[in-house]
Amino acid sequence: MTIAKDTKAIQSQIIEAFNFRHATKVFDPKRKISDDQFNTILEAARLSPTSFGFEPFQMLIIQSPQKRELFRDFAWGANGAFNGSAGQLGTASHFVIFLAHTDVNMKHNSEYQQKFMKEVKQLPDDVIGFINQAFQKFQEQDFNIDGARQITDWAGKQAYIALGNTMSVAAQIGIDSCPIEGFEMDKTSQVLEEHFGIDPKVYQPAVMAAFGYRADEPQFDKTRRTMEQMVSWF
């Protein structure tokens, strides 16, 4: 790829996109994101970095209105309860549920990881052996995250990196989005098992995201702490 020498124009486009992005509460239900643009958003997720490169998340794209309704009762951050609308569930062009892989797949030395390193990463056996050891140390000692819940949370963290990238990329091509944690985990997991065939032992919901085009301009101006309040230099 060619790296632009003068990045000023790109820098201002990026900042403009980050100011454009806001947590969109209601989308224009008539406007759909093109397949081509949505694929770019998905590529941003797929190409995102993950710890040890294990890609421990899945994305479900829920386009059937009937299937989206299955989440309405307990997805309080996406059902419009706060503004009397159909919410992100009822208005978004695309609605995504990120799943985190549980310890079944992500505990060190798991069968899934062996297959993944061989088939996806195409690593030779000696390198796989080395990574198994390093990953075991990482889970048991370095980060001390050997429990089932901790491993799922770690996998969820990786999903959030992809989530961030999807929203940033969307904003750069004029597409609105909303990250969504406003849902009941247990009920979401139950619906995913009953209606989507997702085994809760292997996958747990991490976070949701809606994409589309805003119905209205944001109600509030963006507020943030100052750079000095957030960043310390040493």
Binding residues vs ligand FMN (CB under 6 A): 22-23, 25, 77-78, 178-182, 207, 222
CB of 93 to ligand FMN, least distance (A): 16
Return phi, psi of residue 91, to 5°: -125, -15
Closest residue to ligand FMN in the complex (CB): 77
Q: How far apart are CA 156 and CA 50, in angstroms?
A: 10
172 with 68: CB under 8 angstroms? no
Instruction: Closer to ligand FMN by CB, 175 or 178: give it.
Output: 178
Instruction: Closer to ligand FMN by CB, 48 or 110: give it.
Output: 48
CB of 167 to ligand FMN, least distance (A): 9
| Alpha helices per DSSP H over the chain | 8-20, 35-46, 65-69, 87-91, 103-106, 111-119, 125-137, 148-172, 185-196, 227-230
Buried residues in 85-113 as b, exposed as e (16+ CB within 10 A): bbbbbbbbbbbbbbbbbbbbbbbbebeeb
Instruction: Closer to ligand FMN by CB, 56 or 77: give it.
Output: 77
Angle between helices 111-119 and 125-137 (to 10 degrees): 140
Tokens of 111: 């069968």
CB of 129 to ligand FMN, least distance (A): 36
98 with 162: CB under 8 angstroms? yes
Cα angle, residue 163 at apex, residues 152 and 22 outer, rounded to 5° = 135
Instruction: Closer to ligand FMN by CB, 22 or 68: give it.
Output: 22
Angle between helices 148-172 and 35-46 (to 10 degrees): 140
Instruction: Closer to ligand FMN by CB, 53 or 182: give it.
Output: 182
CB of 82 to ligand FMN, least distance (A): 7
Instruction: Closer to ligand FMN by CB, 77 or 107: give it.
Output: 77
CB of 212 to ligand FMN, least distance (A): 13
CB of 198 to ligand FMN, least distance (A): 20
Instruction: Closer to ligand FMN by CB, 43 or 181: give it.
Output: 181
CB of 182 to ligand FMN, least distance (A): 3
